[in-house]
Amino acid sequence: MQMLALYSIKGGVGKTASAVNLAAEAARDGRRVLLWDLDPQAATTFYLRSKPKVRGGVDKLVKGKSDLDRAIRGTDVERLDLLPAALGSRDLEAALETRKPSRLRKVLKPVMDSYDLVVLDCPPSLSALAEQIFSSVDALLVPVVPTTLSLRTLEQLDAHLDALDHACPIWPFVTLADRRKTLHRQVLESLGERWPKRLSTTVPNASAVERMGLERAPVGHFARSSPGGRAYAALWREIAQRLQ
């Protein structure tokens, strides 16, 4: 079971859109995928037409006593299951606080054989939960909006991970890009030079991605051949190659 997180210290950069679309692409590709909504805002849960509630409660989940199968739900996407956000996901934070690193991965142990890939949609913070994420996943997929500030937060994240004992690789990729803008082009170039591990697929600023909230579905399900739909399909192919 491989594990990836959509993570950034910065809010509103496309973590949730990317988590839902990449998980759906992976499922389409034949993988059995579990998408875990770790953000109390529950946007991923909403996009997949579910309600934020963890049966049995997150506290039990972390202790390993809860029936994980009951908390996980199916979605309209074949081979894609969802572990929804708990409205009180702050409880998750508290429950994980005192736990050893990689507890998050251990929580999933009972269903390890049922999934090929777990995708985490993370809230934008450097908290106890973030530390758990860093020590549990195979890589952090970090959406970068093409601005100077966004590059700066990427450096901050890198410095933070450098100081940790259990850290994972960072694979940045550009989202919300507008190729007509000179600044965007420049940021893309410097990202390429500074971050050899970056994913080369760029997700454009695309109206189809914005429409996910109305359609409540991954972009591949209602606008597969749109620029946004094609970008996420290509991004997943690139990630799948790396995971091999």
Of residues 167-206, those binding Mg ion (CB under 5 A): none
What is the Cα 166 distance to its own chain's centre?
A: 19
Told to check if 179 binds ligand ATP by CB under 6 A, we report no
139-144 sheet: strands from edge to edge: 73-74, 80-83, 33-37, 117-121, 2-6, 139-144, 170-174
Nearest approach in angstroms of CB 157 to ligand ATP is 14
CB nearer to ligand ATP: give 95 or 142.
Answer: 142
CB nearer to ligand ATP: give 68 or 119.
Answer: 119
Told to check if 228 binds ligand ATP by CB under 6 A, we report yes
Query: Which SS3 state, helix, strand or coil, does residue 101 take?
Result: coil
* Helices then strands, each counted (H, E), the chain: 13, 7
Told to check if 235 binds ligand ATP by CB under 6 A, we report no
Pick one of 3, 140, 203, 239: the residue that binds ligand ATP (CB under 6 A). Answer: 203
Residue given tokens 């508290």 in the structure block: 94
Told to check if 218 binds ligand ATP by CB under 6 A, we report no
d(CA 40, CA 33): 21
**Binding-site ranges for ligand ATP (CB under 6 A):** 11-17, 39, 41, 43, 124, 175-176, 203, 205-206, 209-210, 228
